[in-house]
């Protein structure tokens, strides 16, 4: 179930995704929060930085810097995490992930759940529509991003 904080922070993640789209990149945004307060936010930077591991979740985590613990945080992401990002969520012990879109890409939700992560599916219409637009307009870039 989505809380008011979840809805608000997913909007911030969406705005990051939209900014990435407007820059010519993959529209995936992410926010790391603690008690409803943003620690950091980021977006997929693969195209902009030429960095194959600069996914939205990774960008937000990098910008968070060193944290003593992640066990009291929530990660918001506009698209279901890939295996690299899902593994990082597990490695860091992030206990809760809110996902904006599993329609355009999904599959690692059970991996996260099986490792004790609470997975909340927002299925946000804006996140879904933006990613659908990207996949339609830039299929080669999308295939590159998901290593297809």
Cα separation, 19 vs 27, in Å, equals 7
Ramachandran area for residue 135 (φ above 0: left; ψ -120 to 50: alpha; else beta): alpha
Q: Any bridge partners for residue 76, and if so which?
A: 31, 98
Q: What is the pLDDT of residue 1?
A: 85
Please give the model's pTM, rounded to 2 decimal places.
0.97
Q: What is the pLDDT of residue 109?
A: 98
Give the active site residue among 57, 109, 123, 137.
Answer: 57
Cα separation, 23 vs 3, in Å, equals 30
Residue 84's domain comprises 4-146
More confident residue, 1 or 115: 115
pLDDT in tens, 10-32: 999 999 999 999 999 999 999 99
Inform me whether the pLDDT recorded for 146 exceeds 80: no
Do residues 122 and 2 lie in contact, with contact meaning Cβ atoms separated by under 8 Å? yes
Cα separation, 9 vs 68, in Å, equals 22
pLDDT in tens, 72-123: 999 999 999 999 999 999 999 999 999 999 999 998 999 999 999 999 999 9
Tell me, yes or no, if 118 is annotated catalytic.
no
Q: What is the CATH number of the domain that holds 51?
A: 3.40.140.10
Q: What is the pLDDT of residue 58?
A: 98
What is the count of structural domains for the chain?
1
């Amino acid at each position: 179930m989505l809380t008011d904080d979840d809805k608000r922070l997913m909007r911030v993640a969406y705005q990051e995704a939209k900014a990435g789209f407007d820059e010519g990149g993959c529209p995936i945004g992410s926010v790391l929060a603690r008690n409803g307060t943003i620690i950091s936010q980021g977006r997929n930077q693969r195209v902009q930085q030429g960095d194959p591991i600069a996914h939205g979740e990774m960008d937000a985590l990098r910008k968070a810097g060193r944290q003593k613990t992640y066990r009291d945080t929530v990660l918001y992401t506009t698209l279901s995490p890939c295996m690299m990002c899902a593994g990082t969520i597990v490695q860091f012990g992030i206990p809760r992930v809110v996902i904006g879109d599993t329609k355009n890409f999904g599959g690692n939700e059970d991996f996260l759940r099986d490792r004790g992560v609470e997975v909340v599916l927002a299925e946000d219409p804006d996140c879904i529509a933006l990613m659908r637009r990207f996949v339609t307009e830039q299929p080669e870039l999308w295939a590159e991003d998901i290593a297809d």
